Amino acid sequence: MPFMTIPEAAILWHISVSELRELCENHMILGAVRVHQRWFIPETAACPSAQHPLS
């Protein structure tokens, strides 16, 4: 399964890097894994704004 980084996913999903990092740290992105200090998100993961509105 191919993965993308937080900056790549942030561009694709039109959200900020810090917002996406927070979602990963709170386990809100299904399949996201942390390797050392980097997050990797499956390319098949759903856009987090569609899953959980932040407001």
Instruction: Classify residue 1 by burial, with Cβ atoms within 10 Å: 0-12, 13-18, 19+.
Output: exposed
Q: How confident is the model at residue 55 (pLDDT cuts 50, 70, 90)?
A: very low
Amino acid 35 reads V
Q: Is 49 helix (H, G, I), strand (E, B) or coil?
A: helix
> Structural domain boundaries of the chain?
3-46
* Count of other CB atoms within 10 angstroms of residue 31: 13
What pLDDT, in 10s, does the model give residues 7-31? Answer: 999 999 999 999 999 999 999 999 9
Q: Residue 33 pairs with which residues in a beta bridge?
A: 40
- Beta sheet of 33-35, edge-to-edge order: 3-5, 38-42, 33-35
